[in-house]
Amino acid sequence: MTSPPSDIRAFSFGGGQQSVAALVLAAAGQIDFPVFLFANVGHDSEQPETLRYVAEYARPYAAEHGIELVELSRVGRSGPRRGEVRTLLADLERPDSRSIGIPVHLDGGGPGNRQCTDRFKIKVIADELAARGATPENPATVGIGISLDEIHRANNRTRIPHERVVYPLLELGLRRTDCQRIITRAGLPLPPKSACWFCPMKRPAEWHELRRTQPELFDRACGPEDQLVERRVRLGKDPAYLTGLGRPLRQAIPDGVDLLPMFDEADGACDSGYCFT
């Protein structure tokens, strides 16, 4: 028997177009989510433009319309790091780490194991909902911002016993273009695509755009990749890269050279819906 949901209704807010459209819909009373939870993977890790948008537009808009927009962080719970705010990039760059928590590309193939979303998004939100009183007997309802054009990313499975996942944008039949209209009609600028700036799920065209428009940020992404390659070689493993092109970013995404469409990859957005929304 399915447990009845609790009175807790929260939306997983990623800072992208679907999430901001959901915020506008909630403000207009078209969907019932009084709480929006933004699991920030780190001010050194989230796309800088996303953090600026949340601070300058999303948070004031939420406050103006009586919606609780809460920024959450992963916090150490035991050992010497107890109480310390942890960021994805800092965890990734730890010199003593033997694991890689992001879905790097192995041997030029598809992305490997992905732990970042679970650790820095899903669990952080789950802990907050539990603290607010959600239980397996009375689970919280969690809204996920997947639109109709990405319906393949949606599923109602959850590993969190005190959550019940729903997709309000799908229920309303909204596509990304609809989300864009909802945002602009509310007088808000369109937010950038949300993701970590070094996310291996980026398509080559997105990496090329980053190198063209934000060369300093692109160069920063090469640093963690160099460390990951060195770490895997030191451990006797094959190199791993941030693209599926089988070579380091600086070589895979040449400066000043446009990529042909045939060399681009299909959208590899995280299928949980907690990222890229």
- pLDDT-derived band of residue 91, with 50, 70 and 90 as boundaries? confident
Q: What pLDDT, on a 0 to 100 scale, did the predictor assign at position 268?
A: 52
Q: What pLDDT, on a 0 to 100 scale, did the predictor assign at position 1?
A: 46
Q: What pLDDT, on a 0 to 100 scale, did the predictor assign at position 244?
A: 87
Least confident piece of the model among 42-46, 153-157, 166-170, 204-208 = 153-157
Q: What pLDDT, on a 0 to 100 scale, did the predictor assign at position 255?
A: 82
Determine the average pLDDT of the residues in 110-124: 82
- Would you say 220 and 199 are in contact if contact means Cβ atoms under 8 Å apart? no
Distance between the two ends of the chain, CA-based, in angstroms? Answer: 31
Residue 259's Cβ-count burial label (10 Å; 0-12, 13-18, 19+) is middle
Residue with tokens 């397996």: 136
Single out the residue of 7, 11, 76, 57 nearest to residue 38, CA to CA. Answer: 11
pTM tops 0.85: yes
- Would you say 211 and 218 are in contact if contact means Cβ atoms under 8 Å apart? yes
Q: Cα–Cα distance between 12 and 275 in angstroms, integer?
A: 9
Quote the mean pLDDT of the chain: 87
SS3 10: strand
As assigned by CATH, the class of the 9-194 domain is alpha beta
Q: Per residue in 229-244, pLDDT tens?
A: 888 888 888 888 998 8
Q: Per residue in 5-55, pLDDT tens?
A: 568 999 999 999 999 999 999 999 999 999 999 999 999 999 999 999 999
Least confident piece of the model among 97-111, 130-144, 220-234 = 97-111
